[in-house]
Amino acid sequence: MEGFTPWPEEFAARYQAEGYWSDRLLGDVLSGGDPERTALVAGEERLTYAELDRRAGRTAAGFARLGIRRGDRVVVQLPNTASFVVVFLALVRIGAAPVLALPAHRGSEIGYLCELSEARAYVIPDTHGGFDYRDLARSLAVEHVVVDGDAQEFRALADLDTGAETDMSDERPDPADVGVFLLSGGTTGLPKLIPRTHRDYVYNLEASAEVCGFTSETVYLVVLPVAHNFALACPGVLGVFAKGGTVVLAPSGAPDEAFPLIERERATVCAVVPPIALLWLEAASWSREDLSSLELLQVGGAKFAAERAAQVPGVLGCAVQQVLGMAEGLLNFTRLDDPRELVDTTQGRPLSPADEILVVDSGDVEVAPGEVGELLTRGPYTLRGYYRAPEHNARSFTPDGFYRSGDLVRVLPSGHLVVEGRVKDQINRGGDKISAEELENHLLAHPAVHDAAVVGMPDPVMGERTCAFLIVRDQAPTLREVKQFLKERGVAGYKWPDRVELVDAFPRTPVGKVSKKELAAGLR
Ligand code: J2J
């Protein structure tokens, strides 16, 4: 695929020879499940492995009838519904790559993703969370808009399923093909797409499922957006399917929605971001639901404080697992049999024996063992380049193919990583990633804004919130007006600043760059 950076031949050969890469395809992930067993629970819907498999097959045929082919891209923006799972499986079966947008994304993000990926189709709900996605679709120039629900002038997802399953054998993708595009948290003006091949993502999900002890008895509750790497494949929904377990989709991590589902479905494992974990720790004391089925709470996406991690077993009655992951690839998990001390105080160690880790200083020189530096990595499931982004790739990777994570870590003698900060210009708002540059560019488009600098401010629940420092020309916009402005520009709500500060000038570093450190220090 043009715009995709493959692994160098010698690495590909090694990953294959050493068994990391197989010929298994993302579309075959259901094949190990007992046909009669429940694969998916979503709202009132319950689908067995056989039923889900048939629905995915019929929907695949429907996409093929639309003319969607192997190698095509389809932007998928569905919430935590059975339709997401069906559409995902359908597309990967015919070798069309879903581009996984989050429900929170709006015209600014979606328009760009459709253009960058030259998407042939865009799949949406009719409305969700009070937003009408058909309005967004009307502003785009995409060939096919497929709507889950009331389609209006568009095509209904239900109509793709005519009951006919066609033989897809000549459409079967190659394991080396890009199977899915994930969204990068982003550090630049525009979001980046992460191509994941069938073979690297299958390894990602299978190896994760193994390390996390998933079995056919696993009942996995999804509370994060299912389109996010963590909930999708680390081990996530796909890791559960690979082991023949059951996936339960929840609309959110709110205790009043998630706890009744844990009780009703006897959920055994769930992946959350730290703000949800904190909420659960509080809610467990007054909630009436029986959470005793829970065996494991995976926490990742942002740093989870050691003191909180230590509380999980006592309060929620389950083990905790810290996960330092990234849609770009590398996953670190604390292991189920790690001593409590390591589980509470570290963000885990690499998933794969083939993961290569370097911790370097600003000159790319390796630091002494145990010292803090930037985490660089390469391996059998870590990308070698963002999609169609040659200039950005030159900066994001070392000449020998290591991905620059932008995370500051130190490595313990056990191989466990501790996150100590970051060098990338990004805000991590409770696991939601915000590129400072992207937000600054939007703010600069405001007629009253002369200059803008966005920084994270510490927050006890979210870890960080977003503060926009503005130098204004005339009448300064209020926080409300800034949010309204961003809303009208079609910027996802999680990127809107929580606070606006007016200044006359920005502090500068000796080389003349805006000193975000100094700006942030002024907030404390
Ligand atoms: C500190 N920072 C963390 C952690 C991620 C599993 C879990 C998370 C993600 C994810 C994921 C962190 N402590 N425990 O894809 O499969 C920050 C780092 C990292 C960035 C990646 C998964 N866990 N982070 O969060 O692509 O800065 O993936 O580089 O959204 O989140 O963000 P994202």
The atom number, within ligand 1, closest to the CA of 323 reads 14
Whether residue 197 lies inside any domain: the answer is: yes
The pLDDT value given to residue 56: 98
| Two structure tokens written together for 57 | 């097959």
Tens-digit pLDDT profile for the chain (524 aa)? 899 999 999 999 999 999 999 999 999 999 999 999 999 999 999 999 999 999 999 999 999 999 999 999 999 999 999 999 999 999 999 999 999 999 999 999 999 999 999 999 999 999 999 999 999 999 999 999 999 999 999 999 999 999 988 766 567 899 999 999 999 998 888 889 999 999 999 999 999 999 999 999 999 999 999 999 999 999 999 999 999 999 999 999 999 999 999 999 999 999 999 999 999 999 998 999 999 999 999 999 999 999 999 999 999 999 999 999 999 999 999 999 999 999 999 999 999 999 999 999 999 999 999 999 999 999 999 999 999 999 999 999 999 999 999 999 999 999 999 999 999 999 999 999 999 999 999 999 999 999 999 999 999 999 999 999 999 998 999 999 999 999 999 999 999 999 999 999 999 999 999 999 999 998 87
β-pair partners for 485? none
Ligand 1 and 325: CB distance under 6 A: yes
Q: Tell how far the Cα of 307 is from the centroid of ligand 1, in angstroms.
A: 20
Query: Is this model's pTM higher than 0.95 or not?
Result: yes
Q: Tell how far the Cα of 513 is from the centroid of ligand 1, in angstroms.
A: 27
Give the CATH number of the domain where residue 370 resides: 3.40.50.12780
* Domain boundary, last residue among 364, 380, 408: 408
Do 98 and 152 fall into the same domain?
Answer: yes
Do 247 and 373 fall into the same domain?
Answer: yes
Nearest CA to ligand 1 atom 7: 325
Q: Are 80 and 104 in contact (CB under 8 A)?
A: no
Ligand 1 and 303: CB distance under 6 A: yes
Nearest CA to ligand 1 atom 2: 302
Q: How far apart are CA 403 and CA 162, in angstroms?
A: 44
Do 308 and 448 fall into the same domain?
Answer: no
Do 325 and 431 fall into the same domain?
Answer: no
**Phi-psi domain of 345 (left: phi exceeds 0; alpha: psi -120 through 50; beta: other):** alpha
**ipTM > 0.90 for the complex:** yes
Do 394 and 455 fall into the same domain?
Answer: no
Nearest CA to ligand 1 atom 18: 407
Give the CATH number of the domain where residue 508 resides: 3.30.300.30
The pLDDT value given to residue 169: 57
Q: Tell how far the Cα of 301 is from the centroid of ligand 1, in angstroms.
A: 4
Whether residue 184 lies inside any domain: the answer is: yes
Whether residue 182 lies inside any domain: the answer is: yes
The H helix count followed by the E strand count for the chain is 17, 27
Ligand 1 and 433: CB distance under 6 A: yes
Ligand 1 and 407: CB distance under 6 A: yes
Do 357 and 463 fall into the same domain?
Answer: no
DSSP 279-340: HHHHHTTT--S--TT--EEEEESS---HHHHHHHHHHHSSEEEEEEEETTEEEEE--TTS-H
Ligand 1 and 74: CB distance under 6 A: no
Ligand 1 and 422: CB distance under 6 A: yes
Nearest CA to ligand 1 atom 5: 301
**What count of residues does the chain have?**
524
What total of structural domains would you count in the chain? 2
| Two structure tokens written together for 378 | 């390469």
Q: Tell how far the Cα of 34 is from the centroid of ligand 1, in angstroms.
A: 33
The pLDDT value given to residue 170: 63
The pLDDT value given to residue 462: 98
The pLDDT value given to residue 523: 87
Do 361 and 446 fall into the same domain?
Answer: no
Do 401 and 472 fall into the same domain?
Answer: no
Ligand 1 and 322: CB distance under 6 A: yes
Q: How far apart are CA 492 and CA 416, in angstroms?
A: 34
Ligand 1 and 234: CB distance under 6 A: yes
* Domain boundary, last residue among 358, 376, 408: 408
The pLDDT value given to residue 82: 98
The atom number, within ligand 1, closest to the CA of 327 reads 26
Do 460 and 372 fall into the same domain?
Answer: no
Between strands 269-272 and 296-300, the pairing is parallel
The pLDDT value given to residue 167: 63
Whether residue 320 lies inside any domain: the answer is: yes
Helix (H) or strand (E) holding 360: strand 356-360
Whether residue 422 lies inside any domain: the answer is: no
* Domain boundary, last residue among 377, 408, 439: 408
Q: Which of 181, 326, 403 to mutate to test the pocket of ligand 1 (most atoms within 8 A of CB)?
A: 326
Do 279 and 164 fall into the same domain?
Answer: yes
| Two structure tokens written together for 500 | 């606006």
Whether residue 417 lies inside any domain: the answer is: no
Whether residue 415 lies inside any domain: the answer is: no
Q: How far apart are CA 68 and CA 75, in angstroms?
A: 12
The pLDDT value given to residue 186: 87
Do 53 and 134 fall into the same domain?
Answer: yes
Q: How far apart are CA 26 and CA 142, in angstroms?
A: 25
| Domain of residue 471, residue span | 427-521
Ligand 1 and 271: CB distance under 6 A: no
Q: Tell how far the Cα of 326 is from the centroid of ligand 1, in angstroms.
A: 5
Ligand 1 and 181: CB distance under 6 A: no
Q: Tell how far the Cα of 478 is from the centroid of ligand 1, in angstroms.
A: 32
Do 385 and 473 fall into the same domain?
Answer: no
Q: Tell how far the Cα of 402 is from the centroid of ligand 1, in angstroms.
A: 17
The pLDDT value given to residue 474: 86
Cα atoms found within 13 Å of the Cα of residue 233, Cβ hemisphere only: 31
User: What sign does the dihedral 84-86-87-91 (CA atoms) show?
Assistant: positive
The pLDDT value given to residue 324: 98
The pLDDT value given to residue 509: 94
Q: Tell how far the Cα of 489 is from the centroid of ligand 1, in angstroms.
A: 27
Whether residue 208 lies inside any domain: the answer is: yes
